[in-house]
Structure 1
Amino acid sequence: MIEAAADITEDAFLGGQLLLKQKRSGHRAGHDAILLAAATQAQAGDRVVDLGAGIGTAGLALARRVAGIRLSLVEIDTELAELARANAAANAIAAEAIVLDVTADAEAFAAHGLVPDSVDVVLMNPPFNDPARHRGSPDQSRHTAHVATGETLHAWVHAARRILRSSGVLTLIWRADAIADVLAALSRGFGSVVILPVHGEAGKPAIRVLVRAVKGGRASTRLLPGLMLNEESIVPKKEVRKILEGRAVLPLAEP
Structure 2
Amino acid sequence: MTDNRPDVGEDAFLGGRLRLYQPSSGHRAGHDAMLLAAATPGRPGDRIVDFGAGVGAAGLAVATRIDNVDLVLVERDETLAVLARRNAVLNSLAARVCILDIAAEAETFARVGLGPDTADVVLMNPPFNDAVRHRPSPDQGRRAAHVAEPSGLGIWTHAARRMLKSGGVLSLIWRSDGLAEVLSALDRGFGDIAIRPVHPDPRKPAIRVLVRAVKGSRAPLRLCPDLMLSDEMGRPTREAQVVLVGGQALAPTGLR
Bucket of the pairwise TM-score, normalised by the shorter protein: over 0.9
Residue deviations 1:110-164 (CA, integer Å, cap 9, x gap): 1110000111000000000111111111111111100002211000000000100
Counterpart residue identity of residue 114, structure 1:
L
Q: Does 1:146 align with 2:146?
A: yes
Kept in 1, the 8 Å contact 2:40–2:171? The answer is yes
TM-score, length of structure 2 as denominator length: 0.95
Corresponding residue for residue 68 of structure 2: 68
Contact 2:179 2:209 in 1 (8 A): yes
- Following TM superposition, by how much is the alpha carbon of 1:2 offset from its aligned partner in structure 2, in angstroms? 8.4
2:5 matches 1:3: yes
Cross-structure match for 1:26: 26
For the 8 Å contact 1:2–1:82, the answer to whether it is kept is no
1:233 equivalenced with 2:230 (yes/no)? no
Q: Does structure 1 conserve the Cα–Cα contact (< 8 Å) formed by 2:190 and 2:213?
A: yes
| Partner residue, 1:158 | 158
**SS of structure 1 residue aligned to 2:81:** helix
Structure 1 residues 109-118 or 227-236, which shifts more?
A: 227-236
Q: How far apart, in 1, do the equivalents of 2:129 and 2:98 lie?
A: 25
Q: Percent identity?
A: 58
Determine helix, strand or coil for the equivalent of 1:243: helix
Shift of 1:103: 1.0
| Aligned-partner residue type, residue 85 of structure 1 | R
Matches within 5 A, 1:63-212: 63-212=63-212
The alignment's C-alpha RMSD in Å is 1.5
Is the contact between residue 125 and residue 172 of structure 1 (CA under 8 Å) also seen in structure 2? yes
Contact 1:167 / 1:217 at 8 angstroms: preserved in 2? yes
Amino acid corresponding to residue 184 of structure 2 in structure 1? A
Q: CA deviation at 1:81?
A: 0.4
- Counterpart contact for 1:39–1:251, Cα < 8 Å: no
SS in 1 for 2:177: helix
Call closer, same or farther: CA 1:153–1:251 in 2, change over 3 Å. Answer: farther
Separation of aligned partners in 1, 2:65 and 2:97: 19
SS in 2 for 1:3: coil
Distance 1:28 1:136, change over 3 A: same
- Cα distance in 2, alignment partners of residues 150 and 209 from structure 1: 20
Between the aligned partners of 2:109 and 2:163, the Cα distance in structure 1 is 9
How many angstroms does 1:3 deviate by?
Answer: 2.5
Stretches of structure 1 lacking an aligned partner (at least 5 in a row) = none
Q: How far off its partner does 1:236 sit?
A: 1.6
Query: Would the aligned equivalents of 2:61 and 2:247 in 1 still touch at CA under 8 Å?
Result: no
Instruction: Work out the CA distance in 2 between the residues paired with 1:73 and 1:246.
Output: 23
Write the distance in 2 (CA, Å) between the matches of 1:171 and 1:49: 10
Deviation at 1:230, TM superposition (A): 1.1
Contact residue 2 and residue 83 of structure 1 kept, 8 A: no
**Moved >3 Å (runs of 4+):** 251-255
The alpha-carbon distance between structure 1 residues 222 and 12, as it changes in their structure 2 partners (threshold 3 A), is: same
Structure 2 residue runs without a partner (length 5+): none
- The normalised TM-score by structure 1 is 0.96
Task: Measure, in 2, the Cα distance between the counterparts of 1:85 and 1:67.
Answer: 18
- What per-residue deviation string (whole Å, max 9, x for no partner) do you get for residues 67-109 of structure 1? 0100000001000000000000111000011111111110111
